[in-house]
Chains A and B, each alone.
Chain A
């Protein structure tokens, strides 16, 4: 009879734990779904072709029309430039850590510094870029796109290093040794065997890092300033980005054209979420395209 009692107890425990898991899952999902639902419901009406296609000059100054084309352009430009700076540095650092420096003193120092960088508050990264370009340009209040990119790159590097490092560690040593045994030099082994084997994970990690910084506001607020129209020159003048646009528009929602500004805030928020989502989906697609095919 004790066997039966035990099985009832196990069944009860099973139920209890299952219920607990579903509850925590629901608790975790509720705010997310609520957030997406609210943003879509309030943002979707604002997303007209006119809103997406125009900037904040002209009619917008009079409180009608206006759009976020310039902010989308700024976000794309600043984020891409950040990726161009951060990805090579991050990938090469990870390659060195895994393939060359493994076990050395310098490698543990570098790993420690990367960990520290992961913890840098984004506003500090912004301050760094601000201070750097204040010195470089001699302007006490520098306003330029490349500054924002430097700040974002600073935030991206540790994420990229970490994710690429993990992916490279997943490449079995068997493959490295197989390559060495064929008389392939180490650097070619890394370039032709290790990196291609890990490329799916690397691309995914990089894309997620890009998505992560695309939504940064604080550092950009410091160095990018603002703009009413698209500024494609990263070396001169303020640049508007979506997060900063949202922040600034929010400050207008208590003023005269409150309704118009509120619509812009929700529309820009929805647009930013869509961009980040597209990047996430792209990461998955790219990951599966590059994944080594087993051909089963």
Chain B
């Protein structure tokens, strides 16, 4: 079920390079949190630290605390693999596994890390996940076709189906629509609205309208100056953010006068 995430004094490093500094925020359970800000300000880096994917890059590390359900994500006793099972992710570019069919792509997470599945249970997971990702009607007759044979928008929804098939508590989305056309984008935005009933969603976006449309809370990241680490400028309910932001630079960015 959906879970909230508490982040306190989070510093994120690549080797000696401090990429993001001093982030404090609480991501509410069952809500959509949007992260906006100019390129290179550390939104994606921050997002990737939430499921410990950040540390896959050699030398990357994190200081500070991320607490989910009372458990510290970066506690030495926590297995990053378990973290990633609980916190799913959808990437900027659709990345279905090219060697697998639509069916197997949906099951990839389940099959790759659990026991053998009886066929009926597998069928059920595939249908539920594809329905959840609004893709079932379009692909139900070609489940055995390669995942990469679908269109870009369908591939992205396939990736969402794959992510929700393992029933995570949180779903991270890193600019999930930036490679898609407006119709596919609208489909995914609708989907996000539906998914928030079951999942806590954090979405990075460059599209201000998208942030305004889909999110409940918004965080604005920025760089103090070129070469300085990124930081969280403001974190507020989306409505307030877009009508009466606390920080003048947020208003400047949102209204397009900068950034």
Contacts and interface: CB of A to CB of B under 8 A. Distances in A.
B11 to A, nearest CB: 22
Contacts of A181: 51, 53, 84, 88-89, 91, 163
B58 A103 contact: yes
A185 interface: yes
A292 B91 contact: no
B56 A177 contact: yes
Interface in B156-191: 159, 162-163, 166
Interface residues of A, number: 27
Interface in A161-190: 172, 174-185, 188-189
B84 A182 contact: yes
Nearest to B79: A185
Interface string B77-94: 000011111101101010
B95 A180 contact: no
A104 to B, nearest CB: 9
A179 B108 CA distance: 8
A102 interface: yes
B187 to A, nearest CB: 20
Interface in B89-132: 89, 91, 93, 95, 97-99, 108-109, 112-113
B163 A182 contact: yes
Contacts of B98: 175, 197, 292, 294
B255 interface: no
Nearest to A192: B112
Contact of A193 (B91, B97, B146): B97
Contact of A294 (B81, B88, B97, B148): B148
A295 interface: yes
A290 B148 CA distance: 15
A296 interface: yes
B207 interface: no
A184 B81 contact: yes
A105 interface: no
A158 B58 CA distance: 26
Nearest to B85: A183
10 contacts: A174-B91, A176-B56, A179-B97, A179-B108, A179-B112, A181-B84, A182-B162, A183-B81, A193-B99, A294-B148
Interface of A: 102-103, 172, 174-185, 188-189, 192-193, 196-197, 199, 292-296
Interface of B: 51, 53, 56, 58, 81-86, 88-89, 91, 93, 95, 97-99, 108-109, 112-113, 145-146, 148-149, 159, 162-163, 166
